Structure 1
Amino acid sequence: MKFCRILLQATSFIAVLVIILCVRGEVIFCAEIQEKAVQFIKKIEIRGTHRISPAAIKSSIRAKEGDRYNPLTISQDVDAIWSMGFFDNIEVELEELKDGLKLIFVVTERAVIDEIQFVGNEKIKTKKLEKQIEVKKGDYLKYYLLKLDEDKIKELYIKKCFSRVQVHAESKTVDGKTIVIFNIDEGPKVRISRIAFEGNTGFKRRKLLKLMETKQKRFPAFIFPGRFDAKKFEADVEKIKEFYMNNGWLDVDVGWEIAYRDDDRQMYITLHVKEGERYSVENLTIEGAALFTDGELKNKLKLQEGGPFFLDAVEKDTYQLRLMYGEQGYITTVVKEKHTFSSEGAKVNVLFTIEEKNRYYIEKIKITGNDKTRDNVIRRELTFYPGEKLDTEKIRDSQRRLTNTGYFDMQSGMPAGINFEQGSESDKQNVLVDVKEGRTGMLRFGGGFGANVGVFGDISYTDRNFDVTDLPKSWDDFLQGNAFRGAGEVLTLRFSPGFNRTEIMASLTNPSVFDSPYSAGVSLFDYLRWYRKYAQKEMGSSVSVGREIQRSFFVKLTPEFDVIDITKRDDTENTPQDVLDAEGSYLKAGMTLSANINRTDNIYAPAKGYQGESSIEVAGLDVDIVKYKFQATKFNTLFEVPKWGKHVLSYGGTFGIVKSTSGDVVPIFERYYAGGYGSIRGFRFRGVSPVDEKTGDQIGGDVLMLMSTEYLVPIYKDMVRAAIFVDSGKADESISDINFDRFRLSSGFGLRFNVPFLGRSTISIDYGIPIIKKDKDDTQAFTFNFGGGSSF
């Protein structure tokens, strides 16, 4: 015990002594620092500069000669010198003088690139590589940019199918010059010859290939070159896994192996799929629902008891339940999902918990962003009103209607946004409609070419948001576009001269007279069209009155009066008798009843939905006919590749009948013809119809039947798309020919270009191959259309 006490006392004494020494040392150290800190900077010196002047560095720092020395200020000055971007290293040194300190910044300047070399590039020219990289001759050498340029060169080679390329950048100093060298090992040009799957019993190879951005080489090679990109391929493998999991195979695993043939130029990829068991829904339970019954809610869900467990359906069904409540005004209802795995095999128990909140009603509708468009023009497109329950389905429909008006900026991504804010009472919400004004008026000086109309000029002005009563207050008011705007009227003025057709037209349409569902319009026109055997001149006017019967469903009645002149062409021989019989001048008074429906997601570039139009025309005076025509198209998005575009399949048809009411034959200028752009591609415009027995010329028929299927594949988003199509149809003599006899068939491919600065015009190039044709048909492989134009 005594020994322990002595040991404890000794330990205590040593600890006290250590503390005293430490405190004393700290005091001495702090005193030294304080002594130095209170010293003044007598001189600032810059060392190591060659190209950068010391004055430039001194101007960037805060420390000045005569200032008190402050370590924090010096640290900030080092950061300021770094930010100049000219140096690889910066050090600070202090020298004591008799009356102060000398502050020295020692810098190491970055080298300036005197030359850039590429070694090993045989397949890609040096000039193209120089455009690809960031570093340039005369720049300061930055090593991180060299690493980025290595990747850029690799990307360029991979696009050219050199997937095994290796790039290494280095810098050397030769005779005082700094040279950057990109060493390139191009490797062989590799193309994917085959992508195979093993173990995929749940889905066919074709289905899985559609999920992949990686494609094997096939025709046409400029679209499907068989390029292998390791990053994209790894992402494709994850897509396949995600696709299996979304369809119930939660334990799926996907591996792969790659083999090469033909001197490593042909790549063969095999993906090994281990599907595992497909999970099913054992129990589906919904708790907390009072507004709807369990049966009503479950009928809207993709997940069903006993059915497969779709992983992606969890989120979709949660959204669907919120949507059902949102349509009834319960926009704050909370829906939570929880799924647990059963202990008995590959089964899942799914539980949806619903917290029903208050129902909301619309108090006010506030519109912002409309500098030129009147409030009433926007409000008439809304399908919801103050005082009624807030319906999210009507909100989405109204947003689509506003977008399709074309009044607002389509390039903004959100031309018409709709949000909510709290109203004056707890169960009231204000609806905020925010629009972004776009250019609705387009003055165009140009022209175009159409396979149906030939070359034509175009001087036109179109305004979809015109206001005939908004007179300008000054000349500047007119020039700046602040006049004749905002009422939603559609004005079109056009003068379009051409070799095959000349058109003069003026029209004004009010789509909602006094904000009612009724529309009204007036049009004046003068057409001159040269056909192969005759010229047709038509001058006339029309008025129209229409009404919106249901959402996006319109009917219209259009009285029209025309003066028609038919003249045989003097430069042709063997004129058909039908042309000779029709020569002369005609007065035509007609009445057309038409119905139009458009339920597409976008009227300019539809990807889903349908559209259709039906019309019946009754005419008298010198032209006694009844003409009926029906046309419809359906659009389906097969799938969408993120950041790339939608794969869209469209199909539809046209049916028309024309009959004389006077007992005479239908005049040749009122008959139906087939062939050309918008009809049967692969055949010339008006190249399919009954023919004159003596001359072999197309003279038209009383019946038109067309069918078309087109598949659009995005090449670059929605701006450049490839098209694969199948067209069929005929124009036949009489109503008794309404059958599938004498049908023509063609197939082919094409390109669609939607260029932003061209407005809503689309350049269409198609190559059609007639598969079924008749001896007297006129064929034409290429059809090109740019700039629109009537096919009159």
Structure 2
Amino acid sequence: MKFRKVLLQAASLIVVLVITLCFWHTGVLSAVTQEKTTRIIKKIEIKGNHRISTAAIKSSIRVKEGDPYDPQMVSQDVDAIWSLGFFDNIEVSLEEIPAGLKLVFLITERTVIDEIQFQGNTRIKTKKLKKQIEIKQGDYLKQYLLKFDEDKIKELYIKKCFYRVQVHAETKVVNGKTVVIFNIDEGTKVRIARIAFKGNKGLKRRKLLKQMETRQKHFPTFIFPGRFDQRKFQSDIDKVKEFYMNNGWLDVDVGWEIAYSDDDSKMYITIHIKEGERYYVESLQVNGAALFTEEELKQKLKLQEGGPFFLDAVEKDTYQIRLTYGEQGYITTAVKEKHTFSSEGAKVNVSFTIDEKDRHYIEKIKITGNDKTRDNVIRRQLTFYPGEKLDTEKIRDSQRRLANTGYFDMESGMPAGINFEQGSEPNKQNILVEVKEGRTGMLRFGGGYGANVGAFGDVSYTDRNFDVTDLPKSLNDFVQGNAFRGAGEILTLRFSPGFYRTEIMASLTNPSVFDSPYSAGISLFDYLRWYREYQQQIIGSRVSGGREIQRDFFVRLSPEFDIIDINRRDDKEDTPQDVLDVEGSHLKAGVTLSANIIRIDNIFMPARGYDGESSVEVAGLDVDIVKYKFQTTKYNTLFEIPKWGKHVVAYGGSFGVVESTSGSEVPIFERFFAGGYGSIRGFEYRGVSPIDEKTDDQIGGNVLLLLNAEYLVPIYRDIIRAAVFVDSGKADKSVSDISFDHFRLSTGLGLRLSIPFLGRSTISLDYGIPVMKEDGDETQSFSFNFGGGSSF
């Protein structure tokens, strides 16, 4: 009973408290409501603003004079003012005034930069630093941008090899103006003087350096400045390690240290290598092959039993097996590779398991994207046909042939793509040839300069995809390029006047008459050339007929009729007798049998493959000669650095012999000369040949021998390339002089600029130094060529 009584008393007390609290809360709410209804904003003021107008600030807030005071709405208005981005601080205050409140927004405006200064910069001009930074005079001061600009200035200095540069930004008020000052401690310019390797017993330093973008300073310094970039160097270390692993050293460890000279101007990098053991292939197996024997497939693999285990060869050999099957039509062949490490030393067991599946055949060939080029023009470049087995090697070759026609957009990266599509049966595939039309016609108004031909103008039109039968239906068709297009014919119209030569030419060639392997062409020309000793004009016509004997191998027969006029330019006493002997007009009727092969990856900028041409010309009437010429060039890509370009070596030679069939001397205008661009750089055009004993003028020879080699180094992709070259050769009197006696030799450096808006023209600048020369030779160190030269 007593417990119940206590419980009842407690419950009564709780009820009383609850009722009391309810009455108190109601009173508070009533008081707040009463306060809201009585606290009215009578006045709004903006203080502290100088540059930003009061009207502009008030237009961004929602509270108005006469509204009840609402703290939440005022807070939202503070955010709205802040979002204008002009202020560093905003405060709100309330003042009691008669019949209400005064709401005050106290604003601190952001500082405006009146001036930007740089102190301590002696190696980089202030003008260049101002372009580097983000903040500008008149901007509002933002501390995070100052920090950002400090880093940008450091980046610029580091690119200039000032790795220890220090930059600190500060702000000062001078005469009432806000000045931002970048204090720069440039430090010493540092170049990489040496990159050394320690511990590299298995791989030579030269091979390891090829894996790196970081280079020590050496000539020419504009290509190899010895600049150090921390991010690139770290990537280089990873590449060196990967290179070791790809050559069998799977446990390699690579570290480095950097030291400086006493004056901090030279950086010495030492890369430490712990090679570990080299892994070798203990066993190599190929399982599941029925089409080929195991030995046939093993011969195609980079990995060999007993040889080093190349980590990258695992993927390459897998691809090579699939490629081998793809050439036989087994394009869905699956290859699984497995390698396990032996328990006995650094040995690896490698196995390839092949699931051959079915052979595929070509059902249809579908061509898309050719709005102007005819289907048959594209199909005649393909080396595969419907009904035959699908051969991936033929597909790659066809893709190369299509790209080299020049019909399609070479700047797109993929002017002609070839893909597969499932045919009507499981073992049949449709081939999809997708092309992107390019600009094949080029109307040119301009000119150029060649070391061999001097300055010249050029008004020309060339179309590699012309169609003489595609007449325009309207003027609009002609203007928009919808006429005379799509048959793959080559039209050239040219008028090219110059100081040393003038040329007028019109030619039309059909490389595949009626889609056959036969070609036909015709050309008319008027060629005027001024030499030092005489003036030569050739007016003539040429027709040609040819055939593609094998893939990329062509034979042509070209009859030609010319009228040749020779006029001396000096007095008789100063003119070589060889010129006087041929002065006047000559008729020449001849025929040329030529054969040429073009197997290069890109006809405009070759990096792999070879090309060559051989010709025999027999002429009669007033010019009785037999002339034989041979020329070939081979291109090899040594290596390719991503985002930089290909390092290409090109080498080749030329050989020529001309003989008279009438027993008289070969006319001077049919003889060979050496020297100049495209021949032996470092010598003048036609500056190497036998000379007239009386006048010391070059009079040409009956024999020509040339050997050339050039190493092309990309500076900026394929647009700017440097060249190192060696040229040698001679032009001699007669066939009995065919030897390496009296050879001239030159070497030098060059620059190649292939600018996209210039089309396929290349600017070439070469500096050649004659190393071996003869008395009477005429030298010329610089040779410059732009816009091509003569067709002859």
Q: Report the TM-score when normalising by structure 2.
A: 0.87
Q: How far off is 1:116 after superposition?
A: 3.0
State the alpha-carbon separation in 2 of the partners of residues 581 and 588 from structure 1. 16
* Paired residue type of 2:158: I
> Residue 742 of structure 2 corresponds to which residue in structure 1?
742
> Residue 5 of structure 1 corresponds to which residue in structure 2?
none
Residues 1:337 and 2:337 are matched in the alignment: yes
Q: How far off is 1:603 after superposition?
A: 0.8
State the alpha-carbon separation in 2 of the partners of residues 380 and 75 from structure 1. 77
> Residue 220 of structure 2 corresponds to which residue in structure 1?
220
Change (3 A) 1:345 1:759: same
State the alpha-carbon separation in 2 of the partners of residues 90 and 252 from structure 1. 61
Change (3 A) 1:170 1:284: farther
| Stretch deviating more after TM superposition (178-187 or 476-485) | 178-187
Residues 1:467 and 2:467 are matched in the alignment: yes
Change (3 A) 1:58 1:388: farther
Residues 1:505 and 2:505 are matched in the alignment: yes
> Residue 96 of structure 2 corresponds to which residue in structure 1?
none
> Residue 599 of structure 1 corresponds to which residue in structure 2?
599
Change (3 A) 1:626 1:115: same
Report matched runs for 1:522-671 at 5 Å.
522-570=522-570, 573-671=573-671
Report matched runs for 1:269-288 at 5 Å.
269-288=269-288
- Partner SS for 1:582: coil
* Paired residue type of 1:511: P
Change (3 A) 1:352 1:463: same
Taking only the aligned residue pairs, the percentage that are identical comes to 79
Change (3 A) 1:441 1:111: farther
CA contact under 8 A between 1:533 and 1:572: conserved in structure 2?
no
CA deviations on 1:199-231 (whole Å, 9 max, x unpaired) are 222232223223322222222222222222222
- Partner SS for 1:411: helix
> Residue 15 of structure 2 corresponds to which residue in structure 1?
none
CA deviations on 1:541-600 (whole Å, 9 max, x unpaired) are 011111112221111111111111111113675211111111121111111111111111
Report matched runs for 1:88-127 at 5 Å.
113-127=113-127
* Paired residue type of 2:309: F
> Residue 11 of structure 2 corresponds to which residue in structure 1?
none
Residues 1:321 and 2:348 are matched in the alignment: no
Q: How far off is 1:81 after superposition?
A: 9.7
Q: How far off is 1:453 after superposition?
A: 0.8
Q: How far off is 1:393 after superposition?
A: 1.3
> Residue 767 of structure 1 corresponds to which residue in structure 2?
767
> Residue 236 of structure 2 corresponds to which residue in structure 1?
236
CA deviations on 1:87-133 (whole Å, 9 max, x unpaired) are 8899999xxxxxxxxx9999998665444333322210111011123
> Residue 3 of structure 1 corresponds to which residue in structure 2?
none
CA contact under 8 A between 1:452 and 1:791: conserved in structure 2?
no
- Partner SS for 2:581: helix
State the alpha-carbon separation in 1 of the partners of residues 334 and 79 from structure 2. 51
State the alpha-carbon separation in 2 of the partners of residues 779 and 555 from structure 1. 38
Q: How far off is 1:318 after superposition?
A: 1.4
State the alpha-carbon separation in 2 of the partners of residues 170 and 666 from structure 1. 83
CA deviations on 1:606-632 (whole Å, 9 max, x unpaired) are 111111111111111111111111111
- Partner SS for 1:128: helix
- Partner SS for 1:599: strand
> Residue 725 of structure 1 corresponds to which residue in structure 2?
725
State the alpha-carbon separation in 1 of the partners of residues 653 and 716 from structure 2. 28
State the alpha-carbon separation in 2 of the partners of residues 440 and 61 from structure 1. 63
Q: How far off is 1:256 after superposition?
A: 2.0
- Partner SS for 2:481: coil
> Residue 686 of structure 2 corresponds to which residue in structure 1?
686
> Residue 788 of structure 2 corresponds to which residue in structure 1?
788
Change (3 A) 1:501 1:85: farther
* Paired residue type of 1:248: G
> Residue 413 of structure 2 corresponds to which residue in structure 1?
413
- Partner SS for 2:600: coil
CA deviations on 1:390-432 (whole Å, 9 max, x unpaired) are 2221221111111111111111111112222222332222222
State the alpha-carbon separation in 2 of the partners of residues 348 and 74 from structure 1. 76
State the alpha-carbon separation in 1 of the partners of residues 439 and 129 from structure 2. 40
State the alpha-carbon separation in 2 of the partners of residues 443 and 670 from structure 1. 33
State the alpha-carbon separation in 2 of the partners of residues 88 and 430 from structure 1. 68
State the alpha-carbon separation in 2 of the partners of residues 387 and 64 from structure 1. 85
> Residue 300 of structure 2 corresponds to which residue in structure 1?
300
State the alpha-carbon separation in 2 of the partners of residues 349 and 657 from structure 1. 60
Q: How far off is 1:507 after superposition?
A: 0.6
| Stretch deviating more after TM superposition (349-358 or 338-347) | 349-358
Q: Report the TM-score when normalising by structure 1.
A: 0.87
- Partner SS for 1:476: helix
Change (3 A) 1:543 1:226: same
| Stretch deviating more after TM superposition (378-387 or 438-447) | 378-387
Q: What is the number of residues matched between the two proteins?
A: 753
| Stretch deviating more after TM superposition (719-728 or 166-175) | 166-175
Report matched runs for 1:41-60 at 5 Å.
none
> Between Structure 1 and Structure 2, whose CA radius of gyration is higher?
2
Q: How far off is 1:289 after superposition?
A: 2.4
State the alpha-carbon separation in 2 of the partners of residues 371 and 769 from structure 1. 51
State the alpha-carbon separation in 2 of the partners of residues 703 and 737 from structure 1. 8
* Paired residue type of 1:649: V
Structure 1: stretches of 5+ with no match in the other structure: 1-20, 22-27, 66-72, 94-102
Change (3 A) 1:645 1:56: farther
* Paired residue type of 1:537: Q
State the alpha-carbon separation in 2 of the partners of residues 244 and 74 from structure 1. 68
> Residue 672 of structure 2 corresponds to which residue in structure 1?
672
Change (3 A) 1:254 1:475: same
State the alpha-carbon separation in 2 of the partners of residues 60 and 290 from structure 1. 81
CA deviations on 1:255-311 (whole Å, 9 max, x unpaired) are 222222251112222222222221111111222323222112111111111111111
CA contact under 8 A between 1:46 and 1:107: conserved in structure 2?
no
> Residue 703 of structure 1 corresponds to which residue in structure 2?
703
State the alpha-carbon separation in 2 of the partners of residues 644 and 386 from structure 1. 40
